[in-house]
Structure formats: C-alpha cells, structure tokens
Chain A
C-alpha cells in the first residue's frame, strides 16, 4: 500500500512505525530512502500532484517483484506543498539479507523517478511552476502524437 499525505511527511513517525510493523517478520535488513526538499534556485518549496490509481498499480507490480525475493516494499509520498528542508518521499525495503535490499532500493527508487505518476512543481515567488525540465516522459510516451 502506498501512503499518501497532504503536505510534508512526518518522517520519524513513518520510519519508526514501519520498523515496528515489520519487527516480527525476521527481516535482517531495513533500508529507508528519504527524499528531502533542498534549497535551490530560490525556491520556497516543491508541490506535487499524484494520480493514485496508476501509482497504486505500479507499486503493486513492484511489491510482487519484492515478494518473489522474500522482501517487502513500503512507500510514502506527499501531495500538495512541501517546503524547503521538509521531506516528500520515503521508500523502504525490508529483506532477509542485505544484498537484496541494497539492490532493490536502487532499482525501485530509479523506476519511481521514471514511471510513478507524480508531477512536481517549484514554489517560487508565490507561483506553482511545473518542473518540466526535470521531468521524464513515461515509457511509451508520445503515442497520441505518433503517425503510426
């Protein structure tokens, strides 16, 4: 299940709760990745739109991959405005041994950046500006513009 929150994530609550939820399952490794908004180019923060139906389906596909390796994924993300030095994203993997967890957290976070239906905006001078230059077309994009 993907946890979605309005505005910034409560990081200590989430990573502590996840730790407790999985503490009886004999996992040897827990690797959280926490994404925090950096002060950069004069932004006041970032803002996010999320399309939940496709995000959930994408996440469930990854959860099945994790399960096949005896691992488990968790993810939390913000909707709306998240200010500089607050956090908007946590991904975590639990696995019996470290190697699966180390490899999976990298693959999961990279595919998240390329595929998850989330749109980012810079908050600057009171405006909400789509971060077009930092965004990635989803695999297969351009279908409606093609002349096939």
Chain B
C-alpha cells in the first residue's frame, strides 16, 4: 500500500491504495471527478523528492505527494 497526500489548497484527506508505479496512482486519481482540476497542474513527489515519470516504481509504505501551483513570498 502507498499513501497519497494532497498539499496546500487541495481539500482532500490522504488516501491509501495498492500501486506498483505512479501510473497506477494516476489511473486511480483519474476516476475521482474532484481531482480532475488538479491532475493537470500538480507536481508529484515520492517520499519528498520530485519525480518526472509515470514509470516511477513504488514500494510498500511509499508516500506520494501532490503539489498544486505555488506562490510563496
């Protein structure tokens, strides 16, 4: 199982799901209508490191984070 957490303004509680790669997480979140507005503009981190491929492999206990558009300062 991996945990998916939603940062900043995404009003959604963390999820746990079975996923062997980030592609599995993408497919699961695409089923969720309220996530549609976020998937196109969120960056993704696995265990607090930003990643760039859906083929990123996931292991049991991994944490996937969605980072929506930012504006510090």
Residues of A within 8 A of B (CB): 35, 48-51, 53-54, 57, 77, 88-89, 109, 112-121, 130-132, 134-146, 148
Contact = CB atoms under 8 A, between A and B. Distances in A.
A142 B41 contact: yes
- Report, nearest first, the 4 A-B pairs whose CB atoms are least far apart: A118-B72, A119-B8, A145-B39, A135-B69
A28 B54 CA distance: 47
> Which label, helix, strand, loop or mixed, suits the secondary structure of the A interface?
mixed
16 contacts: A49-B8, A51-B67, A54-B48, A117-B70, A118-B70, A118-B71, A119-B7, A131-B71, A134-B71, A138-B67, A141-B42, A142-B40, A143-B22, A143-B42, A144-B66, A145-B42
B31 to A, nearest CB: 12
Given A57-B49, A138-B69, A143-B54, 16 more contacts: A48-B72, A49-B7, A51-B65, A77-B73, A109-B73, A116-B72, A117-B70, A137-B43, A138-B70, A140-B52, A141-B43, A143-B43, A144-B25, A144-B39, A145-B40, A145-B42
Interface string B15-57: 0000000100110011000000001111111001111111000
Interface range, B side: 20 to 34
Given A51-B7, A54-B67, A140 B43 contact: yes
B66 to A, nearest CB: 7
Contact of A138 (B25, B39, B43, B53): B43
B44 A119 contact: no
A126 B22 CA distance: 38
A134 to B, nearest CB: 5
A120 B71 contact: yes
A138 B50 contact: yes
Nearest to B48: A53
